[in-house]
Structure 1
Amino acid sequence: MLHAVIMAGGAGTRFWPASRAGRPKQLLDLTGDGTMIQATAARLSDLVDPSRILVVTSQRLVEPIQQQFPQLPAAAIVGEPCKRDTAPCIGLAALLVSRDDPEAIMVVMPSDHVISPEASFQSAVRYGAGLVAESENRIVTFGIQPKYAAETFGYIERGESLTSDSSAPPTFQVARFREKPKGDVAREYFESGNFYWNSGIFIWKAKTILEALKRHEPEMFAHLEAINADWGTPQQAETFQREFAAIQGKSIDYAVMEHHQDVAVIEAPFLWDDVGNWQSLERLNDADSDGNTVLANHLGIDTKDCIIKADGDHLIVTLGMSGTIVVHTEDATLVADKQREEDIREVVKKLQANGWDAHL
């Protein structure tokens, strides 16, 4: 059967001040369609029964996520005791899924992407699950056709075509996974037409990814097996804390994808946005006649090419501004040059250094 794993442990610091430690990006409503994680789960509604959805997050977010999904049993939301990247997260999820369904096929995805239309996504997942069912050792991922030479995404280089049905989306053997490139290399990838952005969405059999982790990351796998052995016993919490903290964190790309021999990439037949920063809102919402993206009660005078976001009815007035991000929350306001948006991470670090924990 098909099972879904939603990875929801990110911090989303580039969305400060809306994103906080107790309410990161995946718990924000940035599109008007509910929170990011709610939209992710809704996207799965016609694919996977709620009893086969597993959310893996951090311990501090278990309760807020449970409030988002009262229909899910408590056991369906797993809180990691510390951050260890995606490979341990995925490995643990595969072990837990395998306890009840050793032949499970898993679709694994982040909790904070915007994807549309849902029907195209669901059709693509069904197709990918079929490819996995055909070849037990196969791993399937989705590649996004690049729109520009991005330096913030990993890339997938495609190899020989695997498409045999003209009605199916283009599918290729993966030649190689590439790390986030520098500008000149990103331009080469983009201009070649032979590369996709790495969506971070995967389909595989649970036992396939577990065998791959055991082969390529035996120490990590041993810790995960120890956790699984005590799962559901009185020792669960203590073992989980001890063994998970002992794992050396690593992404699934480094741990498995760069080494696995049978990886197929499906050219995504859906629209995808990873909503990585405030400027993502410009792609997801219509701008006004002056190029402003406004999600607030706003009065703009001689204001162009700005992003304005506020909670509630708070009025934001901008006068003579251009290329600026203004975000207002109950206890903090950000005013930033759009060209300096990546430095919002530095703002968060500065707040931490100053001990202003109430604003984190």
Structure 2
Amino acid sequence: MVLFDDYSMLHAVIMAGGSGTRFWPASRKLVPKQLLALSGQRTMIQSTVDRLGDLIPPDRQMIVTNKILAEAVREQLPELPAANVVGEPCKRDTAPCVGLAAAIIKRIDADGTMVVMPSDHVIASPEKFQAALAAAEKLIDEDPTRIVTFGITPTYPAESFGYIQRADEIPADGVSAFRVEKFREKPDRATAESYVDAGTFYWNSGIFLWRASTILDALAKNVPEMSKHLHAIAGAMGTPEFDAVLEREFTAIKGTSIDYAVMESYDNVVMIEAPFPWDDVGSWQALSRLNDPDENGNTVVGSHIGIDTKGSIIMAQEGHTVVTIDVEDLIVVQTADATLVAPKHAEERVREAVKALEERGMTDKL
């Protein structure tokens, strides 16, 4: 059943090139976080596609990922046409990723609208998500130069998120929508507290909608050198030289984020107050939000025996049992070739472990 057949020109772009280093040792270069099942049976990228439902059919869904992950993504999403999984030759941040996807979409649909989203978020209400996308697309139909994003009402003064400051409210179908006053960088603790107290600031979800032509025009204005390379790639589409041109031109791009390249300076941005529950699954403690803890506050994925164990996060691979005795607030992650043990408050330092492995040449553990 098609839910919104009036919105036939909406395309989905799922960014899936991240390495998920904060989820080491479960997340690896060849099997990063988005390819793991951290909650339920479906992997994160499969769940991201699932929540689109019937709103956007598979032939208008595109995954942009690292070329070394492209085949693994295709295996996890066999319903998508193989060509809809686009492999970037190298990592160049989100602006080139968005530009590449926009160039491809504009070639096949000159007036196409894109929803761009990360592959590693959890949104528990797909129906509300789809309805919000439909409302956002209508806002763009009313003014094709608009960019629409979703703001998450903050529940605590997070220092790890960027923020969106809202301005005046505008009419929208079934959602609360506001003009954007300003995008704010990740704040320190005191600034984050002031944002939450003000009541007019939201976490930046990293989910955006725009016409493909609108974002390409904005990139051409703000980052013209990047735009030249994207234009060259677009010119080679459909030719035998495309792969070689993509490799050469994309590699030559100086990477930057879409927030820095466009969002922070664009003057026609609308924010919808997200009507759906959202989690960015940024680190191991997210497992406690995605899976019900036991009576001792432990979140367990796999086989575990806990003796006087409280408030810990335990993950074990199939066929292996982790036993903990007299511990509290630990993260213990066991895989076939590496084990992580860390206090929960030090979860951000997992990246240091990854860096240490790189420095010691232990690339087989990455």
TM-score for the superposition, normalised by structure 1: 0.98
Which AA in structure 1 matches 2:348? E
The runs of 5 or more residues in structure 2 that have no matched partner are 1-8
- Partners of 1:33 and 1:160 in 2: CA distance: 42
8 Å CA contact retained: 2:53, 2:126: no
Query: Which ranges of 4 or more aligned residues in structure 1 deviate by more than 4 Å?
Result: none
Counterpart for residue 317 of structure 2: 311
Q: Could you tell me which of 339, 346, 349 is aligned with 2:345?
A: 339
1:27 equivalent to 2:35? Answer yes
Counterpart for residue 24 of structure 2: 16
* 1:23 aligned counterpart, secondary structure: coil
* 1:156 aligned counterpart, secondary structure: strand
- Once the two structures are TM-superposed, the CA of residue 296 in structure 1 deviates from its matched residue by 1.7
Counterpart for residue 233 of structure 1: 239
- Once the two structures are TM-superposed, the CA of residue 181 in structure 1 deviates from its matched residue by 0.7
- Once the two structures are TM-superposed, the CA of residue 289 in structure 1 deviates from its matched residue by 1.2
Which AA in structure 2 matches 1:290? N
269-278 or 332-341, larger mean C-alpha shift: 332-341
8 Å CA contact retained: 2:58, 2:81: no
* 2:166 aligned counterpart, secondary structure: strand
- Once the two structures are TM-superposed, the CA of residue 47 in structure 1 deviates from its matched residue by 1.0
* 2:244 aligned counterpart, secondary structure: helix
CA deviation string 1:62-107 (max 9, x = no partner): 0100111122222101110111111110011011001111000111
- Partners of 1:174 and 1:133 in 2: CA distance: 18
CA deviation string 1:199-220 (max 9, x = no partner): 0001111111111111111111
Q: Could you tell me which of 225, 250, 255 is aligned with 1:219?
A: 225
Q: How many matched pairs?
A: 358
* 1:224 aligned counterpart, secondary structure: helix
- Partners of 1:83 and 1:225 in 2: CA distance: 19
- Partners of 1:74 and 1:315 in 2: CA distance: 38
CA deviation string 1:182-212 (max 9, x = no partner): 1111111111111000000011111111111
Counterpart for residue 353 of structure 1: 359
Counterpart for residue 6 of structure 2: none
CA deviation string 1:111-154 (max 9, x = no partner): 00000211000000000001001101000000000010000000
- Partners of 1:217 and 1:91 in 2: CA distance: 11
The runs of 5 or more residues in structure 1 that have no matched partner are none
- Once the two structures are TM-superposed, the CA of residue 174 in structure 1 deviates from its matched residue by 0.2
CA deviation string 1:284-325 (max 9, x = no partner): 111111111111211111101100011113111100001100
- Once the two structures are TM-superposed, the CA of residue 33 in structure 1 deviates from its matched residue by 3.9
Counterpart for residue 101 of structure 2: 93
CA deviation string 1:141-185 (max 9, x = no partner): 0000001000000000000011355xx221100000001111111
1:321 equivalent to 2:331? Answer no
**Structure 1 residues 242 and 164: CA distance shift in structure 2, 3 A:** closer
1:120 equivalent to 2:162? Answer no
Q: Could you tell me which of 165, 178, 182 is aligned with 1:157?
A: 165
Counterpart for residue 183 of structure 1: 189
**Structure 1 residues 64 and 12: CA distance shift in structure 2, 3 A:** same
8 Å CA contact retained: 2:303, 2:320: yes
- Once the two structures are TM-superposed, the CA of residue 339 in structure 1 deviates from its matched residue by 1.2
8 Å CA contact retained: 1:60, 1:79: yes
Which AA in structure 2 matches 1:194? T
8 Å CA contact retained: 2:35, 2:45: yes
231-240 or 207-216, larger mean C-alpha shift: 231-240
- Partners of 2:350 and 2:312 in 1: CA distance: 16
- Partners of 1:68 and 1:261 in 2: CA distance: 39
- Partners of 2:342 and 2:204 in 1: CA distance: 29
Counterpart for residue 83 of structure 2: 75
Counterpart for residue 46 of structure 1: 54
CA deviation string 1:256-303 (max 9, x = no partner): 111111100000000000000000011111111111111121111110
* 1:283 aligned counterpart, secondary structure: helix
CA deviation string 1:210-268 (max 9, x = no partner): 11111111111010010111122221122111111111111111111111111000000
Counterpart for residue 110 of structure 2: 102
**Structure 1 residues 296 and 131: CA distance shift in structure 2, 3 A:** same
- Partners of 2:61 and 2:361 in 1: CA distance: 38
**Structure 1 residues 164 and 44: CA distance shift in structure 2, 3 A:** closer
8 Å CA contact retained: 1:323, 1:338: yes
* 1:259 aligned counterpart, secondary structure: coil
8 Å CA contact retained: 2:168, 2:179: yes
Counterpart for residue 155 of structure 2: 147
Which AA in structure 2 matches 1:112? D
What do you get for the CA RMSD once the two structures are aligned? 0.9
* 1:60 aligned counterpart, secondary structure: coil
8 Å CA contact retained: 1:107, 1:202: yes
Which AA in structure 2 matches 1:218? P
- Partners of 1:164 and 1:316 in 2: CA distance: 51
8 Å CA contact retained: 1:33, 1:39: no
